[in-house]
Amino acid sequence: MATFITEECINCGACEPECPNTAIYAGGVEWDLSGEKHPPISNDFYYIVPDKCTECVGHHEQEQCAAVCPVDCCIPDPNHAEAEEALFARAVKLNPELAGLELSAATSRFRK
Ligand code: SF4
Ligand code: SF4
């Protein structure tokens, strides 16, 4: 399930443009994947779509939403831990140009 946003969110919107997978949406906004629309996961706060979040694996050294959030409410979901391999497979599915990328400390928080 990767990263999720707690109810501490103050709806500042800082995280949304930072996500390399467009996995973050404002409360009440439908999310989309491959052109298909889905109902919002939260109506009150910004939310992260688990099927689109890769914990930034494949793109950055750490979760970009967590890096910019002023109230530190983007956290790993302790109940849904995922391995780097699964997260990278998702990243490639969402961003086919990443196929063949050698993960490093710059592109995976697991390599620190
Ligand atoms: S951890 Fe990365 S991929 Fe997941 S929602 Fe945050 S910015 Fe997007
Ligand atoms: S940066 Fe943090 S407080 Fe701001 S919208 Fe995103 S999760 Fe909410």
Domain containing 37 — which CATH number? 3.30.70.20
Query: 78 pLDDT band (50/70/90 cuts)?
Result: confident
**Strand, helix or coil for residue 98:** helix
Question: What is the pTM for the complete model shown?
Answer: 0.96
- Which atom in ligand 1 lies closest to the alpha carbon of residue 24? 5
Percent of the chain at pLDDT exceeding 90:
91
Asked if 66 and 74 touch (Cβ cutoff 8 Å), the reply is yes
Over 80: is that where the pLDDT of 1 sits? no
Q: What one-letter code names the amino acid at 34?
A: S
Distance 21 CA to ligand 1 centre (A): 7
What the block records as the tokens of 13 is 């919107």
The pLDDT of residue 82: 93
Instruction: Identify which of 12, 71, 75 has the alpha carbon closest to the alpha carbon of residue 48.
Output: 75
pLDDT digits (tens, 9 = 90+) for 39-56: 999 999 999 999 999 999
What residues contact residue 58 under an 8 Å CB cut-off, 6+ apart?
20, 87, 88, 91, 92, 95, 98, 101, 103, 107, 108
Report CA-CA distances (Å) from 86 to 44, 49, 80.
29, 15, 12
> What's the total number of domains in the chain?
1
Ligand 1 atom with the smallest distance to the CA of 66 is 6
Query: Using a 6 Å CB cutoff, which residues line ligand 2?
Result: 5, 9-15, 46, 68-71, 73-74
**Cα 90 to Cα 13, 54, 73, 109, distances in angstroms:** 24, 6, 23, 15
Which residues constitute the domain of residue 16?
A: 3-111
Q: What is the mean predicted confidence (pLDDT) over 78-103?
A: 94
Q: Averaged over 58-77, what is the pLDDT?
A: 97
Across the chain, mean pLDDT equals: 95
Look at residue 2 and tell me whether its pLDDT is greater than 90. Answer: no
